[in-house]
Structure 1
Amino acid sequence: MIYVDSLNAPHGFRKEDLYLLVGLSSPAAVAIENALLYANQEKIVESRTKTLRRTEQKLRKSEARFRAIFDNMKTGVVVYEVEKGGNKFTLVDLNHSAQKIEHIRKEDALGKEVRDIFPEYESLGLLKVFKRVWESGESEHVDPVFFEGRKQSGWREYDVYRLPSGEIVTLFSDLTRRKRAEEEQRVLQERFLNAQKLESVGRLAGGVAHNFRNILQAILGNMEFLEMVYEDMPGIVERLFDKKIRVTVQMEKDLFMKGNRSLLSQVFMNLFTNARDAMPGGGRLIVEARKEGDEILAVVSDTGFGMDKETLNQIFDPFFTGKEVGQGTGLGLSTVHGIVEEHRGKIAVSSSPGKGTTFKIRFPLAKEMADTSEETKKHIISGNGQKILVVDDEPGSLAALVGMTESLGYKVAGVSRSVEAMETYKEFQPDAVLMDRNMPGMDGISCIREIMRLDQNARIVIVSGYESSGPNGIDKDVKKMIMGYLTKPCGLEDLSQVLSGILET
């Protein structure tokens, strides 16, 4: 605003004066207005500059945050620029994990085409995945594959994405340790399952062996030292094999072991039969036996079909058979396994398709053959009319034990059930009891407890076909109750000595 006043002229300003003032004030007004506008623009620029600086700081922080996340990710990340319509992928960025996993340096990889850095991607089909993702915009997951690079190899799992910028990014993980752990776990699981299988085989074989022993108890008086079953082998081989199969038998002399001829013959009969069936067009069977340290090693080899790993893992399983329906029960080799273990032996098998099969069986070696001279005849101790109660659910075994006990000079009562045993004990009042361990209904252990309630001074001997568990499988309380333990088939000498020993106490 301009203020003008007339001090000397009483009549004010003339028109010319007013025109002059107007002419002078217009440029001044423009100048003032321009000055004001300039000052206002400076404020706007300053404000915008501050805003831009704040935005730039935020961008720097965001980029630093992204870079920190990018470089510290456990997953490998690689970014590619797409060229030539999706046929060329140039590496433009990668994080620390990608460098570590693939053993490459960032400065060596930037600007290189993917085929120069990872030529294996083409054979793995990853380049086709890159192109599909770039064209469709849809991400894809690549299941674990085995990557074998120039500097590093192992299992990889990939995820491929397209960025808004049109670049392709791959995220990948190194699964090598996990795969190894899974394989180790699989092996352990397989071993565990095999152990469970063997345990079930053991249970089945134990039951089979128990039944064998009950039968043997009715037939055999005792177990003798046998020169294995080799003297029977020529006859077995002659019955089983025709002239298309060449048989070689190589055996050392003086191979003695303690065992049951019938059961051991069944072992070799089963192995020979399997060998014959594996060579329908002919072949060769080799039977060997020799000493190895304190053991007898028996080897049965054939040149038949052979077996794969999966079959080998199952051959001792009950009811498993590789034969056609109706040609095998699947119990032959599980029974063989059980009989060998019951004789404190070990059995192993090796085979491969088209290369035949070899069974190796090891038995404890007896130090010498039984001496049958007059000086070493069995020391059988006779009874003097004492009363013995025999309890066994198997008729043949019961009859044999009753007959053997009577032949020793004892008065004997025989029963086949625990309930009968309780009643007979009260009436017969025996001096000793021979108790079968495994019976239907009330088993032998439970029956022993009931008898001890009737008579705390009862003399009880367990007679069982479960040799593998023996007295170790009995509760401590029951161990205190019994005075002896016999394993079927028990001989007259052992029976006489046990009865004599408990009746003298």
Structure 2
Amino acid sequence: MSWFTFGALGELPDDEDRVRARSQPEYRPAYALLLVLSGSIFVLQYAFVAAFPYLATLLPAGTVDVVHAALLTLFLFPLLLVFVLRPMMRQIAAREKTQAALRTLADGLESRVREQTAALRTEIEERKQAAESLKLFRSLMDKSLDAIAIIDPDTARVLDANEEACNALGYTREELLTKRVFDFDPLVDQSEYTRRAEELRKSGSWSLESLHRRKDGTTYPIEVTLRYVSLGRDYIVSVARDITERLRTEEERKRLAMAVEHAAETIVITDTTGAIVYVNPAFEKITGYTRDEAVGQNPRILKSGKQGGAFYAHLWETISRGEVWRGNMTNKRKDGSLYEEDATISPVRDSRGNVIAFVAIKRDITEQLNLEAQLRQSQKMEAIGGLAAGIAHDFNNILAAILGYTQIAMLDMAADDPLHKHLEQVEKASLRARDLVQHILTFSRQTEAILRPVRLDVIIEEVLKLLRASLPRIIEFRADVQPLDHLVRADSTQIHQVIMNLCTNAAHAMRVHGGVLEVSLRSIEVDRHTPKASLELNEGLWAQISVSDTGHGMDSATVNRIFEPFFTTKHDEGGTGLGLSTVHGIVKQHGGTITVYSEPGQGTVFHIYLPLILGAEEDASHRHTEAPRGNGERVLVVDDEEPVALMTAGMLEKLGYTVTVRTSAVEAIATFRADPGQFDLVITDQTMPQMTGRSLIAELRRIRPDIVVLMATGYGANVDERSLQVAAILLKPVLFDQLAVAVRAALQPSTR
């Protein structure tokens, strides 16, 4: 058989392919048909060669194979198409359909695998993130400075807690997870917890302050925030913060704020532009401005005009540099009155050192300055008093000689002697000079009031004697002083000072245009029918002293302040503002009342009311007593002024005493020591060189303790006779009658 035949059909499969083909059921019919056709064509080929051998030889070599192939093709192709190719095509189409279905199924499976893989990968990532978040939450929870606890809302048991909660309460986490809320909250019990949990369930969150109790039993304050959370199940998240330090700070701030609010000093805070942002109540009290009126204003609302622009420029420049300014200033209240302040103004800095505000602490020193001025005035008056006392001492010694020798001379001549009348005038002039010196001492002396029953008309007349000599001619002086039936318990010196001050002020008000100064004294009776609108007087008899003038008068604002210490309308004349305040104090000290009425251009009237005492007798020292005489008693007279000593000796000799004179304390001691028993009485001066009268008395008492002593002084009645243990104090110049009474009283046995 020609291999061409088989080549036309295609090469047969090798053994392996044949075996595989035979094993495929769909290929078995085609393979059988192929074998039958191949055998049939082989038989036809040999039949053609046998029938046409000649023709076969005529054909070129290979033609037979070509013919054979053509015949085979024509014969086999339809069969191959019908029996082989078409089934094969159907099988191929079925296989492709199957393969397409398989590919679709594979693609679906692959997509599902990819989806499942992605979902699994996402789930794994989410779980990893959840684990990381849980780890982060636990880390943050444990590192929180607040105590955090997760609580079961139904049982109140702690489900979880951070380290701060454990540390704050003193429990381990294991111990704390066995506790319930009311185990460490002393303010909550089971019923209270149930109520709060229900309220929290409705509101969702809640903040409050409470207490926590540690494991050791101690408690501490907390601020707790509670939240109701639902995550599959319900939880209460508690975030508690220890507020011990905050409460301590708040308490300190409250104390500081309270101290600032109650401080007597003015405290003002301004911003860097000078606008007031805070004032304390002391500011309101001192300045008269309310806080609402002051805040937002500049401190210049207090500017008085007493300080110039340079003063405030220096102040502002100092504090603007961040330095502290200290100093005094005069400020003006809302009502226009002035006051003195001692101020310290400091810058307030923030944490970076920048000035953000200014704080001024100011103290009202008006009263302090007034007291200092009063002290200076007191020291000035003390100096004046000392000067006056020194002058009075020397002047009284001169007057003592003049007056004493005049009285001695008058005793040695007849009353109708022409020289007697001349000596009487000398005596009167000397007495006026004595009274004048006494007034000077009274005016300058600052002593406590010694209240005795006195006659006001006598005191007023003494003042008027002094005033008449000092008033200018343009002022007309009128007096209407009525003797009263009753006395007043008063200090003569202070009443003298009151009337003198009022009259001096009245004269000052009329110093330019003149006018009328009138002084009057009368008694009034106050009963239940007397109008009490303007007077605060009890029922009874009162002495009314009135001092009026027709000067320029005063407005109501001035009248309301004239009794204030250091308030004066005499700034240009050097007024101290102490006169009327002293007058007011003296009147009140005497149980009296003083009133004033004045209008501008209408003059001023002062009324002083002092209570009269019924049935009282005048102080015995003012009574006239006939001069008693002596019986030859021996008297030692000691005075460094020889004329005074000799004058005193002459008076005593006229009175019937035996007198020894010494002009030195040392000489007196020597004389006394030589024969202590020879003297019945010693009269000594207070102020002497080498030894004072006080020292002399002490030395004489060491020699003879029972010696009787009288002391004479020209300094006024400021010597305490009890401290000296003397029988009496004699004020120079000593009159004849006064000396006679004092010596006789001292020598009486009952007085020793």
Correspondent of 2:481 among 239, 247, 251: 251
Q: Please state if 1:53 is matched with 2:144.
A: yes
**Alpha-carbon deviations, 1:266-316, whole Å to 9, x = none?**
99999978866765532224130314568684747573799999999689x
Q: Distance in 1 between matches of 2:664 and 2:256?
A: 71
| Gaps in structure 1 of 5+ consecutive residues | 1-26, 78-85, 103-116, 127-131, 149-154, 258-263, 316-320, 325-329, 371-375
Indicate if the aligned counterparts of 1:463 and 1:488 stay in contact, CA closer than 8 A: yes
Q: Match of 1:10? A: none
Aligned-residue offset at 1:401: 1.6
Relative to structure 1, is the Cα distance of residues 406 and 278 closer, same or farther in structure 2, using a 3 angstrom cutoff?
farther
Letter in 2 for 1:392: D
Q: Distance in 2 between matches of 1:193 and 1:349?
A: 29
Relative to structure 1, is the Cα distance of residues 322 and 69 closer, same or farther in structure 2, using a 3 angstrom cutoff?
same
Letter in 1 for 2:704: D
Superposed, 1:115-126 pairs within 5 Å as 118=292, 120-124=294-298
Q: Match of 2:686? A: 437
Aligned-residue offset at 1:66: 4.4
Q: Match of 2:703? A: 454
Q: Distance in 1 between matches of 2:607 and 2:398?
A: 28
Number of aligned residues: 391
Relative to structure 1, is the Cα distance of residues 195 and 157 closer, same or farther in structure 2, using a 3 angstrom cutoff?
closer
Aligned-residue offset at 1:447: 0.7
Relative to structure 1, is the Cα distance of residues 74 and 351 closer, same or farther in structure 2, using a 3 angstrom cutoff?
farther
Q: Match of 2:255? A: 74
Q: Distance in 1 between matches of 2:633 and 2:240?
A: 106
Aligned-residue offset at 1:383: 2.6
Instruction: Please identify the structure whose Cα radius of gyration is greater.
Output: 2
Q: Please state if 1:284 is matched with 2:284.
A: no
Aligned-residue offset at 1:379: 2.9
Correspondent of 2:634 among 387, 394, 409: 387
3-state SS of paired residue (2:297): helix
Q: Distance in 1 between matches of 2:642 and 2:605?
A: 40
Relative to structure 1, is the Cα distance of residues 449 and 310 closer, same or farther in structure 2, using a 3 angstrom cutoff?
same
Indicate if the aligned counterparts of 1:275 and 1:304 stay in contact, CA closer than 8 A: no
Q: Distance in 1 between matches of 2:499 and 2:144?
A: 93
Indicate if the aligned counterparts of 2:325 and 2:345 stay in contact, CA closer than 8 A: yes
Indicate if the aligned counterparts of 1:120 and 1:147 stay in contact, CA closer than 8 A: no
Q: Distance in 1 between matches of 2:619 and 2:351?
A: 90
Indicate if the aligned counterparts of 1:386 and 1:411 stay in contact, CA closer than 8 A: yes
Aligned-residue offset at 1:444: 0.6
Correspondent of 1:411 among 654, 658, 662: 658
Indicate if the aligned counterparts of 1:76 and 1:98 stay in contact, CA closer than 8 A: no
TM-score by length of 2: 0.37
**Alpha-carbon deviations, 1:466-486, whole Å to 9, x = none?**
553444452xxx52xx44443
**Alpha-carbon deviations, 1:307-332, whole Å to 9, x = none?**
999999689xxxxx9769xxxxx9xx
Letter in 2 for 1:290: L
Relative to structure 1, is the Cα distance of residues 284 and 199 closer, same or farther in structure 2, using a 3 angstrom cutoff?
same
Q: Distance in 2 between matches of 1:137 and 1:369?
A: 72
Larger displacement relative to structure 2 (284-293 or 210-219): 210-219
Q: Percent identity?
A: 22
Indicate if the aligned counterparts of 1:460 and 1:483 stay in contact, CA closer than 8 A: yes
Q: Distance in 2 between matches of 1:125 and 1:268?
A: 45
Q: Match of 1:3? A: none
3-state SS of paired residue (1:54): coil
Q: Match of 2:472? A: 241
TM-score by length of 1: 0.51
Letter in 1 for 2:629: S
Q: Distance in 1 between matches of 2:471 and 2:333?
A: 54
3-state SS of paired residue (1:381): coil
Relative to structure 1, is the Cα distance of residues 409 and 271 closer, same or farther in structure 2, using a 3 angstrom cutoff?
farther
Q: Distance in 1 between matches of 2:256 and 2:293?
A: 21
3-state SS of paired residue (1:460): strand
Relative to structure 1, is the Cα distance of residues 141 and 120 closer, same or farther in structure 2, using a 3 angstrom cutoff?
farther
Indicate if the aligned counterparts of 2:635 and 2:658 stay in contact, CA closer than 8 A: yes
Indicate if the aligned counterparts of 1:383 and 1:409 stay in contact, CA closer than 8 A: yes
Relative to structure 1, is the Cα distance of residues 118 and 185 closer, same or farther in structure 2, using a 3 angstrom cutoff?
same
| Gaps in structure 2 of 5+ consecutive residues | 1-116, 149-163, 165-238, 259-271, 285-290, 301-315, 335-340, 408-430, 436-454, 488-494, 524-540
3-state SS of paired residue (1:445): helix
Relative to structure 1, is the Cα distance of residues 199 and 360 closer, same or farther in structure 2, using a 3 angstrom cutoff?
farther
Relative to structure 1, is the Cα distance of residues 199 and 76 closer, same or farther in structure 2, using a 3 angstrom cutoff?
same
Relative to structure 1, is the Cα distance of residues 450 and 194 closer, same or farther in structure 2, using a 3 angstrom cutoff?
same
Superposed, 1:100-499 pairs within 5 Å as 118=292, 120-124=294-298, 207=390, 210-211=393-394, 213-218=396-401, 219=403, 230=461, 237=468, 240-242=471-473, 244-252=474-482, 279-291=510-522, 297=545, 299=547, 301=549, 303=551, 378-426=625-673, 429-472=678-721, 474=723, 478-479=724-725, 482-499=726-743
Q: Distance in 2 between matches of 1:449 and 1:35?
A: 116
Indicate if the aligned counterparts of 1:139 and 1:161 stay in contact, CA closer than 8 A: no
Relative to structure 1, is the Cα distance of residues 55 and 463 closer, same or farther in structure 2, using a 3 angstrom cutoff?
same
Relative to structure 1, is the Cα distance of residues 65 and 465 closer, same or farther in structure 2, using a 3 angstrom cutoff?
same
Q: Match of 2:419? A: none
Relative to structure 1, is the Cα distance of residues 461 and 492 closer, same or farther in structure 2, using a 3 angstrom cutoff?
same
Indicate if the aligned counterparts of 2:683 and 2:711 stay in contact, CA closer than 8 A: yes
3-state SS of paired residue (1:400): helix
Q: Distance in 2 between matches of 1:379 and 1:227?
A: 21
The structure with higher relative contact order (CA 8 Å, sep 6+) is: 1
Indicate if the aligned counterparts of 1:382 and 1:409 stay in contact, CA closer than 8 A: yes
Letter in 2 for 1:121: V
Superposed, 1:28-47 pairs within 5 Å as 41=132, 44-47=135-138
Q: Distance in 2 between matches of 1:201 and 1:281?
A: 28
Relative to structure 1, is the Cα distance of residues 37 and 185 closer, same or farther in structure 2, using a 3 angstrom cutoff?
same
Q: Distance in 2 between matches of 1:449 and 1:75?
A: 63
Indicate if the aligned counterparts of 2:463 and 2:499 stay in contact, CA closer than 8 A: no
3-state SS of paired residue (1:73): helix
